[in-house]
Chain A
Amino acid sequence: MAYEELVRRYQDVAVRTAHLFAPDGDAEDATQEAFVKAHAALARFRPDAPFRPWLLRIVANEARNRRRSATRRVGLALRVVEDRRPDDAAPSPESAVLAGERRSDLLRAVNGLRDDDREVIAVRYFLDLSEAEAAITLGIPRGTVKSRLSRALGRLRERLAADEAEQ
């Protein structure tokens, strides 16, 4: 089935997207559900449009729905992998210089952001989507991606500064 092969090409980024949007949801299950929904919505997909962000938008919405339906928000946070397994790819030199303490400060600040701020940071910097792809994935205009990102970075800096003041 061609569709299975098609979506498998985006499976890794889809699962990561689901996980970023709902860290304590079942990312794999959300991805599967999104793939089924995307298939049902294929008629509405414009062939000249990029497929990846269109698919990721459905994944993101599915994950958001699961996040909203979660009765408790405790533990709804991204985590860092402190002990990387041997089979994991070694972090790039740039990420290696990000010291452990700084990582956890940064992550705490990201986790403390409002959902829309965290989402725009996640799609642009964690998933490395372009501004155009981020706009489609988040379902907002490109200009809004820009302004939301700038606002999110501002709030992130405020949180980091507040953390520093406490230490």
Chain B
Amino acid sequence: MSELRRPVAAIGDDEVVAELRALAAWLDAPAIPRAGTPDPARRARLRIEAGEGRSGRAWWPWAGGTGRGPAWRRSLVLAVVALGVLAAIAGAIGFGVPGIRIIFTGPTPSPSASRQASSPGAFSPSPRPSPTVAPSAGPLGSGLDLGFLTTPSEASSMGGFPLALPASSSLGAPDTTWFTEGRVTFAWRTQPGLPETRAAGVGLLLTEFRGSVNQEFFEKMIGPGSTITPVMIGDVAGWWISGEPHEIVYLDPQGEIIADTRRVAGDTLLWTRGDLTFRMETSLDRGAAIALAETIR
């Protein structure tokens, strides 16, 4: 390319421009979307539907994206709604809208003190990563408020829905199955590829229940150290919740408030498929958790 090596003084602007245009094809560019995440257009849509016009980090309501009114006004309305919901929960008043609310209560909501006192081996609120649930005598998952021990077939009949399990053969069958108030929880022991959660000995928790994530009424409060990230699990939208412990409050199909007071053992992936909501808790990273969740059938 000897002619291109001519001194720059000897070539015209046109040639410099042609070289610049040619250079464009050689510039590195980020590949989108990153593996395991929705593309920016989808993520923006999820955030817009969540009513987020301005990025408030202290707390951040989610709701439908029907595009009515300016984003700040929708956020404000949702803030009021969220406070109302909190008041309703505090007063144990019903709220007849199906959906799920994630309430980030930060480390150790005060009611847990009494639960801890009355429940030896219950979750204690130390920061991660050290396991803070003492290995308890009894079946895997004891002391996590998962309900009572049962079998998969009994759980399915009590819950009234077919159970779905990860297809991953390396994972194997769940070690224990628990049931409470319409929620089935499977627990797997720590094993290679399944690091320990905050609950000693527990590698994975998968909870399934009837209910749907209704984005119109999906709200969250986020505490310092908690993050919630919209993700895609296959072709359905979900949320990856990491950081400080949180509790999930949801409404069952009858519109009754169910406060899921059980202690959070790890980062949480939450999604809805059909009329079932799935909640997976794990110490896997987000990508691995999503990959595992996508095998659930």
Contacts and interface: CB of A to CB of B under 8 A. Distances in A.
Contacts of A164: 7-8
Name B's interface SS: helix
Interface in A78-113: 78-81, 91-92, 94-95, 97-99, 101-103, 106-107, 110
Nearest to B52: A36
**Size class of the contact patch on chain B:** 35 or more
B41 A126 contact: no
A95 B29 contact: no
A125 B21 contact: yes
B40 A32 contact: yes
A21 interface: no
Interface string A56-70: 000000000000000
Contact of A94 (B22, B41, B43): B22
Contacts of B7: 161, 164
B41 A11 contact: yes
B235 interface: no
A140 B39 CA distance: 30
B23 interface: yes
Nearest to B230: A32
Contact of B18 (A20, A78, A94): A94
B27 interface: yes
**Size class of the contact patch on chain A:** 35 or more
A95 B23 contact: yes
A29 B43 CA distance: 9
Contacts of A32: 40, 43-44, 47
A125 B19 CA distance: 9
A133 to B, nearest CB: 15
A15 interface: yes
Contact of A28 (B1, B4, B32): B32
Name A's interface SS: helix
A95 B44 CA distance: 35
B30 A28 contact: yes
Contacts of A79: 27-28
Nearest to B1: A99
Contacts of A15: 29-30, 32, 40
Interface in B34-73: 34, 39-45, 47-49, 52-55, 65, 70-71
Contact of B26 (A7, A12, A39, A91): A91
A91 B71 CA distance: 43
A117 to B, nearest CB: 12
Interface in B55-96: 55, 65, 70-71
Nearest to B38: A32
A110 to B, nearest CB: 8
A80 B24 CA distance: 9
A4 B44 contact: yes
B27 A98 contact: no
A1 B49 contact: yes
A107 B42 CA distance: 33
Contacts of B55: 33, 36
Contact of B23 (A11, A28, A43, A106): A106
Contacts of A19: 29-30
A28 to B, nearest CB: 5
A39 B39 contact: no
Given A81-B27, A125-B21, A126-B23, A157 B44 contact: no
B48 A11 contact: no
A102 B1 contact: yes
Nearest to B17: A125
Contact of B22 (A29, A36, A40, A98): A98
Top 7 nearest A-B pairs (CB, nearest first) are A35-B44, A8-B41, A4-B45, A32-B40, A99-B1, A95-B22, A95-B25
Interface of A: 1, 3-5, 7-8, 11-12, 14-16, 19-20, 27-29, 31-33, 35-36, 39-40, 43, 78-81, 91-92, 94-95, 97-99, 101-103, 106-107, 110, 121, 125-128, 153, 156-157, 160-161, 164
12 contacts: A4-B44, A20-B27, A29-B40, A35-B44, A40-B71, A91-B25, A95-B23, A95-B24, A103-B23, A110-B23, A125-B24, A126-B24
